[in-house]
Structure 1
């Protein structure tokens, strides 16, 4: 089968950026292990994690890893009666986390697809445990479905499991960062509460966010953005879902309501933050880290998306694995609203510049 493998190299000058090679690799072992299915991948979506891996910013990067964490496809073969050939499925991107709510049952066994020892989804086939698959919701295409797993699982855990968002809650979602991750937090919030208020750069992005369920937004480049956010929301925030961290964390905490929850899933704006610590106890705040979710949460998330008819936003589709580097270029530029998807993976390279 064809797959996109990481080819590590030594940084000589400028920014490290490891190349990928589309090459033939062995199919997953046959016969399949018990309770497993072989999935023919139709579409796979990119995440910033894939870029960080190529830039050497991710821990434990292994040469020869098949990248990619998101995928939709069909069952090619199964060693159990749970799935039949041709079933449309989504692949859970997390491994080693079954159902425990607070954290994985054994942290050292927790992995995410896309780095050895776990095969990634930028490949034509993948062998998956039967319980790490979920039916692709009928209202979604393969392209839309591939945009769901990682971003959807993260959003669901932040909003529902940890944030315990409910009707009437005010939610702040820093938009510059979530808009690149599938734009799933606003519609999830909208389905369980009142929706979010995000901070964005461009006015047209605010309009797009409001179409997804947000109640409004302001530009974070405005010096008065904290006051304007507070005015736009009409009250302090019960829940903040942040993928930025960095210098804005202090302002987010000041904008929070008594008993509020801050869920952090990334640090795009910087790994170091400072804030006034007494706000935590005087406001009775809770800070929680979000890194994927359990197998049980993945199943719950997909069922939730199917019930509420949520549609992930796809910014662009690139046909064939040969267009993968083009998709990476767009991801690195950071101007997209929604996910970047590689389609027609079963068709091979298609047009290639590699």
Structure 2
């Protein structure tokens, strides 16, 4: 089969190669990949800034994939040939609280991912793809959608009538807007682009803040909420901006840290944190049971993933370059 392999760190070292097609072992599925979707994590792995010591040689990258089961190993009962499935990022986190070593079993690094014509998934790891979505759409779900869902529903427990703050217009953020709006929440969205803000308004955002026009955007959030702050914040930036997220969130509210665009370390104003008694929660995607629940919600509410651009398999490098420039929604690579 053809597969993209990372010879060593750096995008120039991501190469399209011929490699043996894997065979499914006991309890495993062989999946013909239809599409994959890129996340910031995929870029960070290629750049060598995401746990580089754990990445094997000739890694097949990209965690998010959707496709069709073409063969099953001995003992498989949950799926059959012809079923459409998606990957699940943390391959051993099926429900409940995460184990200490979940990152060691994550797809797209250190385990091989889906940027190939075929991939093997354990039947416990694979997730049925929503019937309402194509492979290109379903491929966007494993990290971006599940991260937003887990932040809002499993952790934030967002209810009808509450207020949610969502930063940016990347994949997680767009899903966050769609889910929060469908849950009945008031959605405050931030971006540096007025054009993108108008597009998120169409997806359900009710209040828009351009953080370049309003660098003290947390003060605008407080004005919009009568000085109280939002119930739940999805912080995709990290770094020094975490203090602004804390200030924009109501006392006792949730700040879900889901990204590190502004750096992997943060210096927190402890007095503000203590006085507001903020719950800061690191979010690393979610478990499989939550994934299945999310897919049911997607089908029920007819939510369609927002895809910026679909690239062909041979143009994966261009897809990464697009991801580096930024996108509105998801960057997808069509494989099958």
> What interval of TM-score do these two structures reach, taking the shorter chain for normalisation?
over 0.9
Q: What are the Cα deviations for residues 99-143 of structure 1, in whole angstroms up to 9, with x where unaligned?
A: 123xx2342674221123x11100111111112222221221111
What is the rounded CA distance, in whole Å, between the counterparts of 2:151 and 2:285 in structure 1? 9
**Which whole-Å CA distance do the structure 2 matches of 1:18 and 1:58 have between them?**
17
The farther-off stretch of 241-250 and 68-77 is 241-250
RMSD between aligned residues: 1.8
Deviation at 1:254, TM superposition (A): 1.4
Q: Give the match for residue 305 of structure 2.
A: 312
Aligned to 2:5: 5
The SS at the match of 1:94 is: coil
- Tell me the residue number matched to 1:22: 16
TM-score of the superposed pair, with normalisation by structure 2? 0.92
Task: Map residues 1-354 of structure 1 onto 2, 5 A cutoff.
Answer: 1-8=1-8, 17-29=11-23, 32-59=24-51, 60-79=54-73, 80-101=76-97, 104-107=98-101, 110-116=104-110, 118-175=111-168, 178-181=169-172, 183-221=174-212, 222-234=214-226, 235-319=228-312, 321-334=313-326, 336-343=327-334, 345-346=335-336
Cα distance change of structure 1 residues 140 and 109 upon mapping to structure 2, 3 Å threshold:
closer
Q: Which runs of 5+ in 1 are unaligned?
A: 10-15, 347-354
Q: State whether residues 313 and 339 of structure 1, in contact with CA within 8 Å, keep that contact through their aligned partners in structure 2.
A: yes
CA displacement at 1:255 relative to structure 2: 1.7
Q: Which SS does the other structure have where 1:137 is aligned? A: coil
User: Structure 1 residue runs of 4+, over 4 Å off?
Assistant: none
- Mapped contact 2:148–2:172 kept (Cα < 8 A): no
TM-score, scaled relative to structure 1: 0.88
Residues 198 and 241 (structure 1), Cα distance of their counterparts in 2 relative to 1, 3 Å cut: same
- Going from structure 1 to structure 2, the CA distance change for 1:190 and 1:110 (only over 3 Å counts) comes to farther
Separation of aligned partners in 2, 1:198 and 1:136 = 29
- Whether the 8 Å contact between 1:27 and 1:125 is mirrored in structure 2 is yes
User: Residues 82 and 157 of structure 1: is their aligned pair in 2 closer, same or farther, counting only changes over 3 Å?
Assistant: same
Q: How many Å apart are 1:341 and its aligned residue?
A: 0.7
Aligned length in residues: 330
Shift of 1:5: 0.3
Distance in 2 between residues matched to 1:296 and 1:258, nearest whole Å: 30
